[in-house]
Structure 1
Amino acid sequence: MTTAVREAPHHRSLYCVKQFGCKRPECRSRNSAYSRRRYRQVGYGTWQPLTDAEPVRQHIAALRAAGNSIPRIQKLARVSAATIARIIYDGVNPRADRIRRDVAQRILNVPVQAAPTTPHTRIDGTGTRRRIQALVWMGWTFTMLGPHLGIHPRQLTDLARADRVTAATARKVADGYRTIQTWQPGNHGVPRASQTMARNIAAHECWHGPLDWDDIDDPNCKPDDGNRSEAKASTKPKVYADPQRVARLTAAGKSAAEIAQQLGCHQRTVVRARGRATQAVAA
């Protein structure tokens, strides 16, 4: 009967010697050097193999905020995924309060800088979200926007409210937006009723048009509501047309247009008032 010899997964640390009894000269030498250093420091009373994990945890959080993924941090620091998980996650097993000094130093040596952007990197979705909302504000429906942007309409409804998007999607929306914002929806096949529906959605959601943003990609930029406020302020108040008065003016031979001008209301308001007056007489 023979006994299978297990091979160590790597030879970068003391793991291969302690767990697999590795006989490589360089591994045995590294283990001997560690044992001698530990023996001396224990004798001097300076042996402190563990250190506080909180600074390392904060450093990992800063790296992730800069866009670095856990696998990337793991690769740069040359530590295992289990080590990272033990530091940052608090689940079935409590988070580590203390970790080895060499592990802490390797993680702290990773500089806090933005990760290189790839097409699949998830970035802030502010610019993408505002661009789609601005096009809907102009009267574009998701169904008509989809073919021009190269994105399925169902996905556009999600992107109009997304906080994070991929870099490829953000670039695709930005490229299409530069052209589409100069088009009139009616000239590119969007029916008038669909334009009205899109604008009503934008008004209900408090979305803004292209000219309301000084910097459409800046999350701290606030929309310019000046034009919208002025438009509301200049809107004429609704005028009630008294059916009896409209009936008297009609009997006097005045047309609906003349009555509307005299009362300061729309001609349709006069027509409705005439109808109410007729119904009152019939009753």
Structure 2
Amino acid sequence: MSAALQPVLYSYDPEREAVWVDATPFRAHVAQLLATGLTVPVIAQLAGVRERSVQHLAHGREGRRVHRICRDTGRRLLRITTLEARAVRFRPVPVRLSRERLRTMVGAGWSVDQLADQTGLGIDEVARIVGRGSATCSQLCALKIAVGYQRWIAQQEAGPGCPAVA
């Protein structure tokens, strides 16, 4: 068969070959990140992947271990080293965006106690960030606030009202 008569496969994309990879090393990596004190939502936020993907790697899916994951998800998770995971707790970042997010939630009727529960931070830390107390907070605080804020936005999109206040 000559080259001119061969069909052209437009759907073939060499970049998409082997999209799925073995999950074993990534499962171990997530376990190491969890051992440093990060939570599943914070790891997902830091890596830029879905929380459910990290949850499945950490705890399995319906009691069964995950055997394969998307190559891109694995690549994103490996960008977070254990050294980075430890540094996140102490690295100062500007507080402005975190403060705006918390103040938006306060404006919607959330109390400082509810914000602390939603974000996993202490009441004093939330009060300090909401107030004008400092120009920075730890990157871990900022990540936890981002996770809490995104969950609140998702709840808002799912239905009206503030479940924490109701």
Question: Which of the five TM-score ranges fits, normalised by the shorter chain?
Answer: 0.3 to 0.5
Q: Whose radius of gyration is greater, 1 or 2?
A: 1
TM-score under structure 2 normalisation? Answer: 0.42
TM-score under structure 1 normalisation? Answer: 0.26
Determine which structure has greater relative contact order: mean sequence separation of CA pairs < 8 Å that are 6+ residues apart, divided by chain length. 2
